[in-house]
Amino acid sequence: MNTTSDHSQQNSKSAVLAVAKRQLVQDALFHRVTQLFSLVVLVALLGIIISLFVNALPTFSKFGFKFLWYVEWDIIKGEFGAAISIVGTILSAGIAMILAVPLAFGIAVFLTETCPVWLRRPLGTAVELLAAVPSIIYGMFGLFVFAPVFSEFMQVPLQSVLNGMPIVGWLFGGATNGLGIMAAGIILAFMVLPFVAAVMRDVFEITPVILRESAYGLGCTTWEVVRKVVLPYTQKGVIGGVMLGLGRALGETMAVTFVIGNANRLPTSLFSPGTSIASVLANEFGEAEGLHFNTLFALGFLLFCITFIVLSIAKWLINRTEKSKGL
């Protein structure tokens, strides 16, 4: 009997050890596989950066830091500057975020706090479907539908009322043909709105119900619950959604190319035609050669740098806010 019991215990221990060994092997394999996936992303990112910089090196060697604020863009003479494209990119993306973020916040609050249950799903699906529309469709809509309406019902009235006024009048000068920096910013706002709204809605929904109910039980209004409970709890996600939209706005190509006007000169008003880094790449990459080809790579590298700086600032803001809270 004792011998049988000892054998049973030994077999049980062997089985447990075998299972533990198998689990250790599985964990180690899982760790290495996921690590490999992460390294593939990192290697791909480094490859993109290196390829952009190597191809852009002739332009940086010729123009140096002057390339950043040089406004000349003459393919024949081989004189290139990134200032016009940088200004157009930042202005159009800035206008888009100024318009899109408040709208996205309102949509997210409505869907999570005050929307009737029967309307919540179809309205949320409609917002998500906007994110699935290809950018070229937005561009075609902007050129053939939005631009004529924008020209007749917004540009002309605004220019007739505000043009010539001190301080703000110069913002509304220029041709009223429906194309330009402002039009590009509005189209970009349409494009980034569903991304920002969807992210905000999702992070608002993860706020624990007990926190909301506690705030309402203390007599808080819906706005006070959103401002004092939901927003502090979901701050990281909200900033992440805004940065996602800003990244989309900075790098958008086809939609901006359709409506920005594609003029290689600094804009003098919101209605002036301009250009962006992405639209320059789309318009000129197919025919570029020599230094012109290298300059387009330099613009791509600058766009990457701008995006990296924006994300770094966002991360810094998040860390600063957490430190102020004592987290």
In terms of average pLDDT, the best of 2-11, 17-26, 303-312 is 303-312
Lowest mean pLDDT among 145-149, 188-192, 218-222: 218-222
Q: Is the CATH code 1.10.3720.10 the one for domain 66-325?
A: yes
On the question of pLDDT at 187 being above 90, the answer is yes
Predicted pLDDT at 3: 59
Q: What is the DSSP letter of 151?
A: I
Average pLDDT estimate for 90-114: 92
Residues in the chain, total: 327
pTM: 0.85
Give the span between the Cα atoms of 82 and 97, in whole angstroms. Answer: 22
Q: For residue range 214-262, list pLDDT tens digits in order.
A: 888 888 888 888 888 888 888 888 888 888 888 888 888 888 999 998 8
Average pLDDT estimate for 65-74: 87
Lowest mean pLDDT among 60-74, 153-167, 242-256: 153-167
Q: Are 241 and 195 in contact (CB under 8 A)?
A: yes
| Spans of all domains in the chain | 1-63, 66-325
Q: Are 244 and 196 in contact (CB under 8 A)?
A: yes
pLDDT bracket for residue 118 (50, 70, 90): confident
Predicted pLDDT at 325: 61
